[in-house]
Amino acid sequence: MLYGAMKVTVGGSLKLAFRPWVEGLEHIPADGPAILASNHLSFSDSFFLPAVLDRKVTFIAKAEYFNTPGVKGRLTAAFFKGVGQLPVDRSGARGAGEAAIKSGMDVLERGELFGIYPEGTRSPDGRLYRGKPGGLARVALATGAPVVPVAMIDTEKIQPPGQVMPKLMRPGIRIGKPLDFTRYQGMEHDRFVLRAVTDEVMYEIMKLSGQEYVDMYATAMKRQIAEAAKAEKEAGRAAKAALAQAEKEQTAKEKTAAEQERSADDR
């Protein structure tokens, strides 16, 4: 009931304001379980995709969104529940992965749509990164549910980092044909099979999105960017300190020269 109300209010507002274009809606099963595997460009991806679908789709979200204290925290939790998001505690990497898998299987066992971002996090630069095999592939092989590749397009341009007001523009959603991996059922613990399934899905997403593919995890790239930014900041501090020291030394030299000149004049 809450999901329906949020879909009308939030989803209706998004569709009215941004007018997202959609291709391939016919590839979403009319009923029964299915996994929607999407690239991840923006926080808004989890809102735009459900807004254009007739069926409910459930994503997983950080537990912090649901357990923040106070009135604001309760309102935030209600909002995320209303738009079909499930809390997952990410405090431990292995525990978080298992919780995500269990949540996905529960959704699919109810015959519903489960949304997942194989990259594991938002792209730091708009490119498509290597998919993590632990979640998507294991859920697909354990449940036998078809995987529908989805490409979100231009959603990262609506509200880039540092921009307060969103830009009114038309993002896109391109949906591909369902992928059947039942030939691998019972092999959800084979890491080579999990890798192969994930890579096949990422290849289909790449074809749909037109993104440049980077054969590394987005989390690793984010670490590199953070480390580079830190190194640049430290280098800036060092340069500033060196400049200040040079100015100090120059001032001391000028002061000494002035004193020597005054001493000479006195003589």
Look at residue 147 in the predicted model and tell me its pLDDT.
98
At 249 the three-state DSSP class reads helix
Look at residue 238 in the predicted model and tell me its pLDDT.
83
Look at residue 95 in the predicted model and tell me its pLDDT.
53
Q: Model pTM?
A: 0.82
User: Which residue in the block uniquely carries the two structure tokens 């078809």?
Assistant: 146
Look at residue 235 in the predicted model and tell me its pLDDT.
86
Amino acid at 222: K
| 139, β-bridge pairs | none
Look at residue 107 in the predicted model and tell me its pLDDT.
94
Per-residue pLDDT of the chain in tens (267 residues, 90 and over written 9): 566 777 777 778 889 999 999 999 999 999 999 999 999 999 889 889 999 999 999 988 766 666 667 766 666 666 666 666 776 665 555 555 787 788 899 999 999 999 999 998 999 999 999 999 888 999 999 999 999 999 999 999 998 877 778 889 999 999 999 999 999 988 988 999 999 999 999 999 999 999 999 999 999 999 999 998 888 888 888 888 888 888 888 888 878 877 777 776 666
Look at residue 57 in the predicted model and tell me its pLDDT.
94
Q: Where are the beta strands (DSSP E) in 1-122?
A: 21-23, 34-38, 57-62, 85-88, 113-116
Look at residue 164 in the predicted model and tell me its pLDDT.
79
In whole angstroms, what is the distance from residue 210 CA to residue 212 CA?
7
Look at residue 42 in the predicted model and tell me its pLDDT.
92
Candidates 113, 68, 111, 69; CA nearest to 87 is 68
Asked if 82 contacts 2 with a C-beta cutoff of 8 angstroms, the reply is yes
Look at residue 255 in the predicted model and tell me its pLDDT.
82
